[in-house]
Amino acid sequence: MGLVMSYAADLHTHSRFAMGTSRSLDFGALVRGAKTKGIDLLATADFTHPVWIEETRAALSETPDGLLALDGVSFILGTEVNCTAQQGGRGRRVHVLLFAPNLGAVDAINARLASSGSLEGDGRPTLRLSPRDLLAAALDVDERCFVIPAHLWTPWFGLYGAKSGFDSLEECFGDLTGRVHAVESGLSADPAMCWRVPSLDGVSIVSFSDAHSPGRMGRELTVFRGEPSYDGLRAALARQQIEYTVELFPEEGKYHHSGHRKCGVRLSPAAAARSGGRCPKCGRPTTKGVLQRVEELSARPAEADVDGAGLIRSRSGRPPFRRMASLGQIVSEALECGPTAKRATAAYAALVSHFGSELAVLLDAPEGEIAPLAGERVAQGISRVRNGDLTIEPGYDGVYGSVTIWPGR
Ligand SMILES: [Zn+2]
Ligand SMILES: [Zn+2]
């Protein structure tokens, strides 16, 4: 057909059965969230959980393209697993996203994984299994299964994390490294940070929300190019067919800088290096942030340029990305009220219904059309976020960073 299609995907989501998630996360909420945010393809999430997979089976219908559907939203069977195993003489804990082409494969995978840990408690199960052995077990069930290491850089649970991760994909996946085609940058990192690491040159850098409540769906996402099907997505990952990813400012993440939360000490990579991994206040070990970890594993400086459309582009032709804040935050800051105040929800609803989705408002809505619907100040806020004209406090050691559009209030 030669028609180039693109679709927005959020493939790291959760159900209400994963630890720490909202009780309201059912398929109704996921579908409403996808439509409001502008997400075309969602992960079904938590497919190892016995109750949730039954809800999945009952609510969604499998389609011939290897996906599932509900009310015009497409889903892919996907889950997150906490892999804990000794590798290379060290205990490792790594979160991995796992995807399967049909419900039959999911049943077979779940039957195998049940011997490695409990699937009944947490929707993101902790298994005594290395990421390599998880991938091997899935491939043994169906060759089309694939994995994406989740939030690659976070100190705990990231494959490149400082606490219990690895220094390379090879060290983790060994003989199966060639089967890993993508990594998730995570909230505390962005693609430009990943471009600095040569061992990631051959893999797609993707971004998803890791939403624990419906409002956070799509806060980061990936717009893929190609056929929106299970095999189309696999091909897009293998060939880096990505239009762009949408990223929060990585400083907002909980582990961007290094530091010590108890003492309120935040350290840039340079300051962390000077302090020798110890808190300058109390002398305890600091938590190494994502930026410091990138410095350790990178081999070249950051090389990125912003083009006329606001896309941040690498000089070596990697897929670009855009930085964003949530529309709810922009509206609430602009109108100086809480995000659930009537004025804020009315402005939000007016914009989303006019432009079709939150993503369309944030990325594509002409500034001149925003003001008549939601006011001059909201229009100004969106344009400030698009231009990166913001005040940013980096997160560290589990403390979220903050992005403020109008400082000094
Ligand atoms: Zn995780
Ligand atoms: Zn301290």
CB 19 within 8 A of CB 122: yes
**Dist. CA 273 → ligand 2 center (Å):** 15
Q: Is 316 among the domain residues?
A: no
Nearest to 186 by CA among 129, 127, 259, 254: 254
Q: What is the DSSP letter of 88?
A: T
Cα separation of 256 and 75, whole Å?
A: 31
Q: At what angle do helices 376-386 and 327-334 cross, to 10 degrees?
A: 130
Q: Which residue has the tokens 């619907």?
A: 373
Same structural domain for residues 228 and 369?
no
Q: Is 81 among the domain residues?
A: yes
**Dist. CA 284 → ligand 2 center (Å):** 6
Ligand nearest to the CA of 124: 1
Same structural domain for residues 223 and 331?
no
Same structural domain for residues 372 and 224?
no
CATH number of 122's domain: 3.20.20.140
Same structural domain for residues 193 and 336?
no
Ligand nearest to the CA of 282: 2
Ligand nearest to the CA of 259: 2
Same structural domain for residues 226 and 84?
yes
Q: Is 312 among the domain residues?
A: no
In order of 4, 269, 314, the CA distances from 228 in angstroms are 10, 40, 26
Q: Is 308 among the domain residues?
A: no
Same structural domain for residues 184 and 331?
no
Q: Which residues pair with 9 in a beta bridge?
A: 41, 222
Ligand nearest to the CA of 260: 2
**Dist. CA 226 → ligand 1 center (Å):** 27
Q: Is 340 among the domain residues?
A: yes
Ligand nearest to the CA of 280: 2
Same structural domain for residues 25 and 119?
yes
**Dist. CA 349 → ligand 1 center (Å):** 31
The number of domains in the chain is: 2
**Dist. CA 24 → ligand 2 center (Å):** 37
Q: Is 149 among the domain residues?
A: yes
Same structural domain for residues 238 and 332?
no
Ligand nearest to the CA of 152: 1
Cα separation of 52 and 44, whole Å?
A: 9
Same structural domain for residues 244 and 343?
no
Domain boundary among 251, 269, 299: 251
CB 258 within 8 A of CB 37: no
**Dist. CA 259 → ligand 2 center (Å):** 8
Ligand nearest to the CA of 154: 1
In order of 30, 185, 319, the CA distances from 57 in angstroms are 15, 30, 35
Q: Is 288 among the domain residues?
A: no
Residue ranges with CB less than 5 Å from ion ligand 1: 95, 150
Same structural domain for residues 78 and 222?
yes
Per-residue pLDDT of the chain (409 residues; tens, 9 = 90+): 446 699 999 999 999 999 999 999 999 999 999 999 999 999 999 999 999 999 999 999 999 999 999 999 999 999 999 999 999 999 999 999 999 999 999 999 999 999 999 999 999 999 999 999 999 999 999 999 999 999 999 998 999 998 899 999 999 999 999 999 999 999 989 999 999 999 899 999 999 999 999 999 999 999 999 999 999 999 999 999 999 999 999 999 899 999 999 999 999 988 998 999 899 999 999 999 999 999 999 988 888 898 888 899 999 999 999 999 999 999 999 999 998 999 999 999 999 999 999 999 999 999 899 999 999 999 999 999 998 899 999 999 999 999 999 986 5
Same structural domain for residues 238 and 333?
no
**Dist. CA 292 → ligand 2 center (Å):** 18
Same structural domain for residues 172 and 82?
yes
77: containing domain: 6-251
Q: Is 377 among the domain residues?
A: yes
Strand ranges, E, within 202-303: 204-206, 221-225, 242-247, 258-260, 265-267
Domain boundary among 251, 273, 308: 251
